[in-house]
């Protein structure tokens, strides 16, 4: 077992167990904290798969922004009665669907011959990623910033509707 394998299995254990924790913990704030742990585990995978920039982005956006947004959302929508809101009545059906999906996906993954490891990949520097992003993907990149702008304005308009009407 190489070091990379040990790290991989530890990360896999961490992120999957944390994801199961999101499901099983009744308190939704604790579930949010488990979600952050799971997302940080995925950031570890990115480092292991030689995508340092994405790991950085993952920690910044998910560990910082999305986590804050979710925790604020939980606070603003009444933290007191939330622990009582457990899984809904349709959870057996949801378990059936996701169980079927995981069986399907695992069968597909394990029965397919994937291309072998491309060897030691040369590390892609952030400079290269940036220049590719701004040369070949310039238009999608600008559209993404437009999407962010629209989402930001939309979020402000939606959540401040009541003050405007009254």
Partner 1 sequence: MISLEHVLVVGALLFSIGLFIALSRRNAVGVLMGIELMLNSVNLNLIGFARFVEAPRPIDGQVFAVFVITVAAAEAAVALALAVAVYRLRQTIDVDRLNLLKW
Stretch 26-85 residues interacting with partner 1 (CB under 8 A): 28, 31-32, 35, 38-39, 42, 45-46, 48-51, 53-54, 57-58, 61-62, 65-66, 69-70, 72-74, 76-78, 82, 85
Instruction: Based on the shown chain and the rule CB under 8 A, indicate whether residue 165 belongs to the binding site for partner 1.
Output: no
Task: Give the separation between CA 95 and CA 146, rounded to whole angstroms.
Answer: 37
Shortest Å distance, C-beta 140 to partner 1: 6
Contact (Cβ atoms closer than 8 angstroms) between residue 55 and residue 43: yes
Instruction: Based on the shown chain and the rule CB under 8 A, indicate whether residue 14 belongs to the binding site for partner 1.
Output: no
Shortest Å distance, C-beta 88 to partner 1: 4
Specify the DSSP class assigned to residue 113: -
Based on the number of CB atoms within 10 Å of its own CB, is 25 exposed (0-12), middle (13-18) or buried (19 or more)? middle
How many residues bind partner 1, per CB under 8 A?
Answer: 86
Instruction: Based on the shown chain and the rule CB under 8 A, indicate whether residue 16 belongs to the binding site for partner 1.
Output: yes
Instruction: Based on the shown chain and the rule CB under 8 A, indicate whether residue 138 belongs to the binding site for partner 1.
Output: no
Contact (Cβ atoms closer than 8 angstroms) between residue 51 and residue 124: yes
> Residue written as tokens 């922004």?
65
């Amino acid at each position: 077992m190489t070091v990379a394998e040990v790290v991989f299995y530890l990360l896999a254990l961490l992120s999957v167990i944390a994801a199961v924790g999101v499901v099983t913990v009744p308190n939704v704030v604790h579930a949010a904290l488990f979600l952050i742990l799971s997302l940080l585990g995925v950031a570890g995978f990115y480092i292991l798969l030689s995508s340092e920039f994405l790991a950085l982005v993952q920690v910044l956006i998910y560990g910082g922004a999305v986590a804050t947004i979710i925790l604020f959302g939980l606070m603003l929508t009444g933290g007191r009665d939330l622990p009582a809101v457990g899984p809904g009545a349709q959870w057996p059906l949801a378990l059936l669907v996701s169980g079927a999906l995981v069986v399907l996906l695992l069968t597909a993954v394990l029965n397919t011959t994937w291309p072998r490891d491309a060897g030691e990949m040369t590390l892609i520097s952030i400079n290269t990623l940036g220049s590719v992003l701004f040369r070949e993907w310039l238009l999608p990149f600008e559209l993404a910033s437009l999407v962010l702008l629209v989402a930001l304005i939309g979020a402000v308009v939606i959540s401040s509707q009541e003050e405007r009407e009254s």
